[in-house]
């Protein structure tokens, strides 16, 4: 039986007069791939950012591997070394090569010497199929390649979990597949993953659990077979039908 790696309990987040997350509770099991779906503005990205402490929740708690990481005094930088995050707009340093973008966290955060960091960065670039592009700068790479560099950068820190915030939404359609293939490989190799995505083919084939959110709450959750074929809530069925029609079923 897989252990719970992340536990979210009664999480709340408020911006001004808008409650973005309303008492969200969920468990992420070690080794699982969980896909968050739902309309824009419903709190999915905010939930991810709370999980790695980029956004401070206004109530509730988050537990990672048995430790409450939202407790006062927790070393947030230490926590983030175990929780990798990939954003939709890459966030690469344009003045650094692909290799240096991957290696910089190893030297600056983990204190690794340059030679060891370079070796590890090259291994991670090879993992995502980009070792031959190690010396290129972000401006010389396609969107799909830049996103794979961002994945390599996160993986270089040896995280326990990877968070993906709409990693393909900024990509041209023909480049989506190469990023999804990398994510599917990670999932197949047992990496714990939480993904916000519109890619229903990926959700259907790769996810262990799909969570449908709307209005800052979890409306329904379950395995893909149940959610796509026999969702219990009419709104879930309606959303899945519309999103599949709109975005297709890329794999």
What is the reported pTM? 0.94
- pLDDT at residue 173 in the model: 87
Question: Read out DSSP for the chain?
Answer: -PPEEEEEEEEEEEETTEEEEEEEEEEEETT-EEEEE--TTSSHHHHHHHHTTSS--SEEEEEETTEETTSTT--HHHHHTTEEEE-TT----TTS-HHHHHHHHHHHTS---HHHHHHHHHHHHHHTT-GGGTT--GGGS-HHHHHHHHHHHHHTT--SEEEEESTTTTS-HHHHHHHHHHHHHHHHTT-EEEEE---HHHHHHH-SEEEEEETTEEEEEE-HHHHHHH-SSHHHHHHHHHHHHHH----
- pLDDT at residue 224 in the model: 95
What is the rounded distance in angstroms from the CA atom of residue 24 to the CA atom of residue 12?
Answer: 7
Averaged pLDDT score across all residues of the chain? 94
Give yes or no for residue 247 having a pLDDT over 70: no
**Residues 123, 129, 85, 240, CA torsion sign:** negative
4 torsion bin: left (phi>0), alpha (psi -120 to 50), beta (else): beta
Query: How do residues 118-177 score in pLDDT, each as one tens digit?
Result: 999 999 999 999 999 999 999 999 999 999 999 999 999 999 999 999 999 989 888 999
Average pLDDT (184-213) is 96
Share of the chain above pLDDT 70, in %: 97
From edge to edge, which strands make up the β-sheet containing 209-214? 83-86, 161-165, 192-196, 33-37, 209-214, 217-222
Query: How do residues 61-92 score in pLDDT, each as one tens digit?
Result: 999 999 999 999 999 999 999 999 999 999 99
- pLDDT at residue 243 in the model: 81
Using 50, 70 and 90 to split pLDDT, how confident is the model at 249? Answer: low
Average pLDDT (50-69) is 96
- pLDDT at residue 251 in the model: 46
Give yes or no for residue 5 having a pLDDT over 60: yes
């Amino acid at each position: 039986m897989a252990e719970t790696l992340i536990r979210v309990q009664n999480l709340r987040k408020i911006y001004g007069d808008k409650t973005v997350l309303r008492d969200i509770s969920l468990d992420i099991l070690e080794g699982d791939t969980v896909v968050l779906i739902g309309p824009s503005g419903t709190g999915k990205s905010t939930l991810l950012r709370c999980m790695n402490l980029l956004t401070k929740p206004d109530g509730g708690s988050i537990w990672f591997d048995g430790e409450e990481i939202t407790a006062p005094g927790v070393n947030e930088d230490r926590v983030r070394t175990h929780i990798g995050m990939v954003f939709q707009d890459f966030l690469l340093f344009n003045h650094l090569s692909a290799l240096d973008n991957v290696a910089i966290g190893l030297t600056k955060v983990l204190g690794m010497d340059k030679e060891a960091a370079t070796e590890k960065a090259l291994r991670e670039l090879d993992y995502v199929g980009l070792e031959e592009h190690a010396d290129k700068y972000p401006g010389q790479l396609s969107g799909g390649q830049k996103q794979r560099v961002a994945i390599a950068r996160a993986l270089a820190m040896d995280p326990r979990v990877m968070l993906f915030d709409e990693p393909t939404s900024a990509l041209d359609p023909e480049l989506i597949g190469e990023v999804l293939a990398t994510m599917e490989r990670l999932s197949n190799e047992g990496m714990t993953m939480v993904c916000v995505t519109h890619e229903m083919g990926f959700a259907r084939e790769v996810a262990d659990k799909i969570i449908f959110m709307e209005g800052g709450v979890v409306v329904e959750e379950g395995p893909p077979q149940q959610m796509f074929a026999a969702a219990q809530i009419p709104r879930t069925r309606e959303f899945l039908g519309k999103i599949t029609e709109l975005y297709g079923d890329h794999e």
